[in-house]
Structure 1
Amino acid sequence: MSEQPYGLIATFDTAAGLYHAAEQVRDAGYKNWDCITPCPVHGLDGAMGLGRSRVPRISLCGGLLGFTTGMSLIYWSGAVNYPLIVGGKPLFSPMFAFPVSYELTILFTAFATIIGMFVLNGLPRHYHPVLKDDVILRGLDDKFLIVIEAGDPRFDAIHTRALLENIGGTGIKELEA
């Protein structure tokens, strides 16, 4: 009883080759695939059809929550919990609440950014099938890789292999699950 493979992996020699291959894989309609590169490749996200990250929105929500928490804390402690008028000072003033709100804005934004990044990236992931194969070492050194997962709705071992060969992929191998 053979186990279904995780997918196919193909090697490319140059960043430009990978970039154009990624455009063709995207245009072929694949959704569950990834590129592995030893260095950043400018524009690869667009070539893969990836949209903007949602992490900045999560960070903004964290910052707004921190600011609101700081202002609410100072309002509640000064005007509700312990109202004390000294020298005509108002029970609440945003000017006095700003330092606390500012610090909580930074703190909550940092936490929201880190937590949002971990959740959206599915981290921590202690194992990935690509790490089983030795070709990953080349992908971290001087080669560029495309991995198309078998779970993709368009995946067909024969047609996907033919696509990877046609777009310039070499050393195409099945990855164990």
Structure 2
Amino acid sequence: MICAWRYTGASAMSESSVFGILVRMPSAEALVEATRAAKRAGFRELDAFAPFPVPGLVEALGYRERMIAPLALVLGLIAAAGAFFMQWYASFDYPYVVGGKPLNSWPAFLPITFEVGVLTSVLTAVFGMLIRNGLPRPYHPVFNDRAFDRASSDGFFLLCPGASLVDVETCLEEHDVREIKELAP
């Protein structure tokens, strides 16, 4: 569906002072279709904003599974093995017989081994997620746009960082676009 859109960007912005192009879409379906069209046109590093999870948007953005879960598992196992080894080594380096138990009483080592492994896995997953998502992000150029406040209620936005206005207009001319703006950094 072809819809007339309104250009609201500043025409005096130079190419070097533009962070990217922010496109406002009227619906979730239009956002997914525009994202697919932008990907087909060769735009990379696209970002989409919607007030709720949109089916098909993740695939349209080209999301790839990250290595956070396998990394958390591997580091958790390494930490658990390290905790077990530390307890085993300490029992032989500083032998202290309690209740006639042998020095290598591995059942006594399991609670600490388990806790250290779980703690390391959880911390790896949390910090890996924060790093991969670029968080915390106290500032982003889209926060300067007054219409972007609607992204948490009923706004659907597509951000094309580093793109030129002409390229985005050409790519999305056949899509139902509500508004296109240039964003300053």
TM-score range, shorter chain: 0.7 to 0.9
Aligned equivalents of 2:131, 2:71: Cα separation in 1: 11
Matched, 1:158 2:171: no
> How much does 1:85 deviate?
4.8
> How much does 1:46 deviate?
1.2
Matched, 1:90 2:102: yes
TM-score for both structures, normalised by structure 2: 0.83
1:56/1:113 contact within 8 Å kept:
yes
**Segment of structure 1 superposing worse, 63-72 or 83-92:** 83-92
Aligned equivalents of 2:102, 2:56: Cα separation in 1: 54
Deviations 1:6-40 (A, max 9, x none): 11111112212212222222222211220011111
Tell me the equivalent position of 1:102: 114
Unaligned runs of 5+ in 1: none
**Amino acid of the residue matched to residue 138 of structure 2?**
H
Aligned equivalents of 1:38, 1:149: Cα separation in 2: 20
**Amino acid of the residue matched to residue 116 of structure 1?**
G
How many residues are matched?
172
Tell me the equivalent position of 2:43: 30
Matched, 1:74 2:87: yes
Secondary structure of 1:166's counterpart equals coil
> How much does 1:62 deviate?
3.1
Aligned equivalents of 1:93, 1:73: Cα separation in 2: 13
**Amino acid of the residue matched to residue 174 of structure 2?**
N
Secondary structure of 1:53's counterpart equals coil
- The structure whose RCO (Cα within 8 Å, separation 6+) is larger is 2
2:37/2:172 contact within 8 Å kept:
no
Aligned equivalents of 1:135, 1:162: Cα separation in 2: 23
TM-score for both structures, normalised by structure 1: 0.86
Deviations 1:45-95 (A, max 9, x none): 11111111322123213311331222122112112x212455663322432
Deviations 1:135-173 (A, max 9, x none): 2111121021100011xxxx3331222213323222111
Equivalent of residue 143 in structure 2, options 131, 155, 159? 131
